[in-house]
A and B are shown apart, each in its own frame.
Chain A
């Protein structure tokens, strides 16, 4: 047994007061969970402390919360580990010492109903419904179940692992700046159907998600959802796969996300290192056609970048021809080697998913049962083929 102080952000709407902090001293084994600590405080000190929970085994997804600023599940975070993190964070800002308070807050990006109970409707469930989270097959349904090859479903097992706890939504830094962002949980759910071989509306789904200015190209690539997810879903990775698939289908988007990606890829193929001014130009007005007939957005964005460029010239940051004139940037001495890499990789386009493949020598028995094989012949790698 050990003693801990938990500092809980409380909000009691019926009191008419704003949120406030309250500390509780709890006494439990370090291997028990933060949720256990909260339930002890509720039991011994204040029965009005509101927290949602059910299974206490990281499967029901009810007890999403922020612990020392990190979004996750209360039942999956050991209180001893939470104490170590609290002490480490205190040491970073010179406070130091042991036994610092473990800070517990309701999930972020959601309205708070009471104490640690949040309203997940507007920023989680409504967004999940937004991505049409059910199968859309075409044609007559089969007499019995749909029959698919087991291997063709492996690709979506990662997004299927979601338990709808909302921890990723709580941690999302894009949603913090843009509440309309569809968000990590809903986009991971979208991939679950985009990648499903039974679904017949893949293109329509991808078009819908790319066409929404708050869709797949509004993700700021911050990895927060990857660290927050208690089930290894890695929502950001699923968003990147949605982008890849949308790109492969040639789907254009109002954010110029696909144009930006292709501009970047082509510049490195041509130059080896990044030509920043060319990237800006090609992201908005790609190729000859883009310059012949630039879109309204292209003109607005290019004009909008002029003040920044002028400031850069003034300070000397951009005071050279190859930084100002797109395309003057020199290529690498052995750029042909880079081009050979492009030819090889564009031909194979392997996607290596560590969630599925695992590290070498760590292949679990259940994976073998699931039919996942590891190639031993270096000439025939068996990664999941992209596309």
Chain B
């Protein structure tokens, strides 16, 4: 537990696309925590469940390639996206289930000097949230806090892919994975807001296919959090962030009410408690203003 964290880091597509503030804030927080991230800059998209819907073997091979690239570094892997976690865990489960299937997938990878091996050196692929709680530890995190989030009321928003299905996502060994966000908020000195949507769907997977269904989901959860008194939401999933933050003005139209609730990426919330400035964490890039969060923190520091 006490050793330093060094991982092969898969940032995902969206953190370098429409949520660049996530990529930047993760780098800053890693530096503050003393984590070493070896970025997998040759790795490919996880397929987000969409490629598996088209061709399961294709999704499995693409992710086997990413795992193999991570295994080449001799390190375990970290992701910063619930959807990457879910899509990659799904493929890893199939790959790990059967050596013949693994050998079949490795056929094409071997031509590229790569191979995915089950459990090689205790290989794992964990979201930043899981790594923070299970490997770094909440006690160490508490010690690093220089600006406790006193008085900040935070609603957790997990993203489906990191909470279900439980059997695939290691809940047998780690049954509390669906209350880690609450534990982190508490460790950072914030206050957990209970509301209906924390483990529900943001609607993003159907934003192009069933726009109204999608935006009604996002709008309902944001609205419920506001009604429960939240100052902001926090999420480990950039795709949820797209629907909850970037689409928030559109979601407000569908649910026919005013919204306007800041949605923070998990590394941003951690970063604020570690003393980083909102600007350094890219909070100005959000669509829903984060000014209220900043004011609450300034008020708490002054008091």
Contacts and interface: CB of A to CB of B under 8 A. Distances in A.
Interface string B191-211: 010100000110101101111
A336 B286 CA distance: 35
B293 to A, nearest CB: 15
Interface in B201-223: 201, 203, 205-206, 208-214, 216-217, 220
Interface string B99-121: 11101100111011000000000
B50 A264 contact: yes
A119 to B, nearest CB: 23
B60 interface: yes
A377 B94 CA distance: 17
Contact of A346 (B58, B176, B250): B58
Interface in A348-387: 348-352, 354, 357-360, 374-383, 386
A205 interface: no
B45 A268 contact: yes
A177 B216 contact: yes
Interface in A193-235: 213-214, 217-224, 226-227, 234
Nearest to B198: A92
B182 interface: yes
Interface of B is mostly: helix
Given A240-B53, A377-B100, A381-B101, A268 B44 contact: yes
B175 interface: yes
Interface string A67-101: 00000000000000000000011011110000000
A139 interface: no
Contacts of A312: 18, 246, 287
Interface residues of A, number: 88
A11 to B, nearest CB: 19
A307 interface: yes
Interface stretch (A21-29, A110-118, A255-263): A255-263
B48 A264 contact: yes
Interface in A283-335: 283-284, 301, 304, 307-308, 311-312, 315-318, 323, 332-334
B224 interface: no
A62 interface: no
Contact of B54 (A178, A262, A352): A262
A376 B98 CA distance: 10
A274 to B, nearest CB: 4
Contact of B65 (A88, A234, A247, A341): A341
A350 B104 contact: yes
B259 to A, nearest CB: 14
A344 interface: yes
B291 to A, nearest CB: 13
A286 to B, nearest CB: 12
Nearest to A241: B53
Given A311-B246, A332-B42, A381-B104, A256 B209 contact: yes
A261 B54 contact: yes
A122 interface: no
Contacts of B62: 268, 338, 341
B235 interface: no
Contacts of B58: 265, 341-342, 345-346, 349
B93 interface: yes
A375 B102 CA distance: 12
A338 B205 contact: no
Contacts of B54: 244, 247, 261-262, 264-265
A308 B18 CA distance: 11
B164 A222 contact: yes
Contact of B53 (A181, A243, A360): A243
B174 interface: no
A45 interface: no
B216 to A, nearest CB: 4
Interface in B33-57: 42, 44-45, 47-57
Contact of A317 (B97, B246, B247): B246
B44 A323 contact: no
Contacts of A346: 55, 58
Interface in B43-84: 44-45, 47-58, 60-62, 65
Contacts of A283: 208
A337 interface: yes
Contacts of A348: 57, 104
B14 A308 contact: no
A136 interface: no
A340 B111 contact: yes
A376 B18 contact: no
B51 to A, nearest CB: 6
Interface of A: 88-89, 91-94, 173-174, 176-178, 181, 213-214, 217-224, 226-227, 234, 240, 243-244, 247, 255-257, 260-262, 264-265, 268, 272-274, 276, 280, 283-284, 301, 304, 307-308, 311-312, 315-318, 323, 332-334, 337-338, 340-342, 344-346, 348-352, 354, 357-360, 374-383, 386
Given A91-B179, A268-B45, A338-B65, 17 more contacts: A92-B179, A92-B192, A177-B216, A178-B216, A217-B209, A223-B160, A255-B210, A274-B13, A315-B287, A332-B44, A340-B111, A341-B65, A344-B107, A345-B58, A350-B56, A350-B57, A381-B98
Closest 3 CB pairs of A and B: A378-B103, A223-B164, A345-B58
10 contacts: A88-B175, A174-B206, A220-B206, A222-B164, A240-B53, A255-B210, A261-B54, A312-B18, A333-B42, A357-B98
